Amino acid sequence: MITDPFFYLCAIPAVLLFGVAKGGFGGAVAVVSVPLMALAVPPLQAAAILLPILVVMDAVALWSFRGQYDRVNLRILLPAAAAGVILGAFTFRFLPDDAIRILIGLIALVFCLNYWFSSWVNSGNKKKAEPDRIKGSFWGMVAGFTSFGIHAGAPPVSVYMLPQQLDKITLMGTFAVFFAAVNVIKLFPYALLGSFDSANLMTSLVLIPLAPIGVRLGYFLLHKVDEKLIYKIAYAFLFVMGIKLLYTGINGLLAI
């Protein structure tokens, strides 16, 4: 088990933040978790420690949002996400961590800027998007791929889901089902790649009690905060983390 106090200084808020995101504030908020833990351990080890915790969080989120999700979008997204996970299992270990950070950062920034610019041009009368098999399959595959490596599937799937402007409960319930399925699928390649050694699993076990606390806190806040504010928070976090990931990735590659 990891005993470094600095690791837990990073890991405890990272786990709680991921739980709050799953419980009600959108996956964009959770993008910070792996980079935060990666301050103390390598990114892939951070991802391996987080995955069992995420599965527990998913169970709590599924119970919290039971029956409240969009079936049409899930039928589009999940098969593509499974393909993305498989692709990630075969290729992710050969890609530099910083290259993945740059990819995710660019997706997040372009998405936010496009949304804000479109809203400004249309004077706030932005038309709701409809479920689209082509777009949904593309972004679902990207989400499965990026989720495999550093649990950062939220920005790609948000690109597809947020423009539909679903009510906040249905949106978060759809996210809950989507990521619950994706994380269960990820368990198998993670195990085959040897990511679940005894040190990682014991560390996960120590942090697991934080999982339901974070999710229920997020769910509580979801029902206390205005829906428009939820979207503003999701876009703001997405933009900030996009800048952070892009900056860290570029610095890392330049330092090679």
pLDDT cut 70: percent of the chain above it = 90
Three-state DSSP class for residue 2:
coil
Question: What are the distances in angstroms from CA 23 to CA 60, 79, 138, 169, 175?
Answer: 8, 24, 26, 10, 10
Question: Taking the alpha carbons of 184, 207, 229, 169 in that order, is the dihedral positive or negative?
Answer: positive
Q: pTM for the whole thing?
A: 0.79
Q: What band does 86 get if pLDDT is binned at 50, 70 and 90?
A: very high
d(C-alpha 78, C-alpha 243), whole Å: 28
Distance CA 215, CA 18 (A): 8
Residue 246 has what pLDDT? 86
- CA–CA separation, 176 and 168 (whole Å): 12
Q: How far apart are CA 221 and CA 194, in angstroms?
A: 37
Residue 94 Ramachandran class (φ > 0 left, ψ -120 to 50 alpha, else beta): alpha
What are the pLDDT digits (tens) for 6-31?
999 989 988 988 888 787 766 656 76
In the chain, what are the domain boundaries?
5-254
Amino acid 123: pLDDT: 52
Residue ranges of alpha helices (H) inside the chain are 5-20, 27-30, 33-37, 43-64, 71-91, 97-121, 133-150, 154-161, 168-192, 198-207, 210-222, 227-254
pLDDT over 80 at 254, yes or no: yes
pLDDT digits (tens, 9 = 90+) for 32-75: 777 778 778 877 788 899 999 999 989 988 988 888 899 999 99
- Provide mean pLDDT across the span 91-120: 76
Give 181's pLDDT tier (boundaries 50, 70, 90).
very high
Phi–psi pair at 21, nearest 5 degrees: -60, -45
Higher-confidence residue of 203 and 146: namely 203
Contacts 24+ apart (CB under 8 A), 86-94: 86/144, 86/189, 87/141, 87/144, 87/145, 88/144, 88/145, 88/146, 88/147, 88/148, 88/149, 88/189, 89/148, 89/189, 89/192, 89/193, 92/145, 92/148, 92/149, 93/44, 93/193
